[in-house]
Amino acid sequence: MSKGLGHSTRAVSASWLAAAIVVAMALAGCGGRGGRRALVLAGSTSVQPVAELIAEHYEVEHPHHSVNVQGGGSTAGVRAALEGAADIGMSSRALKPDEVGLEPIVVARDAVVLIVHPSNRTTDLTPEQVRAIYTGRITHWSDVTGPKWSSDDRRDDIITLVTREEGSGTRSAFEEGVMAKADITPRALVQDSTGTVRAIVASDPNAIGYISLGMVSSEVRALTYGGVQATEETVEEGTYALARPFLLLTRGAPSGEAGQFIRFALSDEGQQLVVRAGYLPVRRLDP
């Protein structure tokens, strides 16, 4: 063989080698869990991160089990559990009256909390006020709290409205809980994560946003909603209105591997993971 061809063969075999490494890595990643059929969870994208966290720890404790967590939305989760496409459905809303034949198990709770800048004078908003703000009917803080300054320059008083993107679980919980079919004004700033909503509210004195209770930090101030503060107790009692359950759904009473997973989710360890993911546990934990 001539020298020239030798060079090109070397180049070609190098690229084959690279391809082989990529394929091998992919195979190792996918096939590492052995050939057993995995336990499939599908549904709400709000429950998904919690379920993934629980699944991760469940797999550590049960090395021979593998869990596959998929999204798709609450409605898809209900359907998947009914049709048997998933062993466990996930839903971030209560079952509707026509969704029968499923065993709902509450594994966590979430509350959506309205947050403002710490310097904001507002402490409470009624459901009507929140709706008026988010539909864009109220645009100035002075219309909520009374005039902020004696001057009549209202430019510095405009509410900076922050919302989540269409399709977000937090947004749909907020819309169902507050908006009563009314649309959030398109003038609202849209952010695709809880973190950025919180960051904007923390830096803009006129901003208002909504996030999960577990994500509230000291950079922002949580408002009471209809006079009720969101806490573990008020959410559990049902007096705080903007709350929703995180459900795991099985067809009939949970049994076998699905039952084992759900028991793990309700165990002390599982509930600690719920707290770590930023949501409220359903069982009180000993400190």
Partner 1 sequence: MTVARREKAIERALLVSALSAVSMLALIAAFILIEGAPVMLRHGISSFLAGTRWAPTKGSFGILPMIVASVVVTLGAMVIAVPLGLSCAVFLAEIAPRRAANFLRPAIQLLAGIPSVVYGFVGILFLVPLIRENLGGPGLSVLAAVVILGVMVLPTLIGIAEDAIEAVPRTYKEGALALGCTHAQAIRRVILPAARGGIIAAVILAMGRAVGETMAVIMVIGNAAIIPCSVLDPARTLTSNIALEMGYAAGDHQKALFATGVVLFAFIMVLNSIATMRIVRGRR
Q: How far is CA 287 from CA 234, 265, 284, in A?
A: 20, 18, 9
Instruction: Check if the beta carbon of residue 273 is closer than 8 Å to that of residue 58.
Output: no
Q: What is the CA radius of gyration of the chain?
A: 24
Q: How far is CA 81 from CA 69, 77, 89, 249, in A?
A: 13, 6, 5, 7
Question: How far apart are the C-alpha atoms of 231 and 116, rounded to whole Å?
Answer: 17
Which residues in 47-66 contact partner 1 (CB under 8 A)?
none
Q: What's the min distance (Å) between Cβ of 32 and partner 1?
A: 26
Residue 212 binds partner 1 (CB under 8 A)? no
Q: Which is nearer to partner 1, 196 or 224 (CB)?
A: 196
Q: What's the min distance (Å) between Cβ of 260 and partner 1?
A: 29
Residue 119 binds partner 1 (CB under 8 A)? no
x-or-dash string of contact with partner 1, 61-100, rule CB under 8 A: ----------xxx--x------------------------
Q: Which is nearer to partner 1, 160 or 229 (CB)?
A: 160
Residues 56, 128, 156, 219: which binds partner 1 (CB under 8 A)?
156
**Nearest one of 172, 168, 177 to 127, comparing CA atoms:** 177
Question: How far apart are the C-alpha atoms of 239 and 151, rounded to whole Å?
Answer: 39
The stretch among 86-94, 183-191, 227-235, 278-286 that binds partner 1 (CB under 8 A) is: 183-191
Give strand pairing partners of 228.
Answer: 225
Residues 119, 155, 218, 287: which binds partner 1 (CB under 8 A)?
155
Residue 215 binds partner 1 (CB under 8 A)? no
Instruction: Check if the beta carbon of residue 210 is closer than 8 Å to that of residue 114.
Output: yes
Residue 5 binds partner 1 (CB under 8 A)? yes
Q: What's the min distance (Å) between Cβ of 183 and partner 1?
A: 6
Residue 35 binds partner 1 (CB under 8 A)? no
Give strand pairing partners of 110.
Answer: 244
Find all residues with CB under 8 Å of 86, minimum gap 6, and list them.
Answer: 40, 41, 42, 43, 70, 77, 80
Residue 177 binds partner 1 (CB under 8 A)? no
Instruction: Check if the beta carbon of residue 158 is closer than 8 Å to that of residue 140.
Output: yes
The stretch among 5-13, 20-28, 122-130, 279-287 that binds partner 1 (CB under 8 A) is: 5-13
The stretch among 106-114, 155-163, 250-258, 278-286 that binds partner 1 (CB under 8 A) is: 155-163
Joined tokens for residue 194: 């809880």
Residues 35, 84, 146, 186: which binds partner 1 (CB under 8 A)?
186
What does residue 253 show for φ and ψ, rounded to 5 degrees? Answer: -60, 140
Residues forming the site for partner 1 (CB under 8 A): 2, 5, 8, 12, 45, 71-73, 76, 155-156, 158, 160, 165-169, 172, 183, 186-192, 196, 199-200, 203-204, 206-207
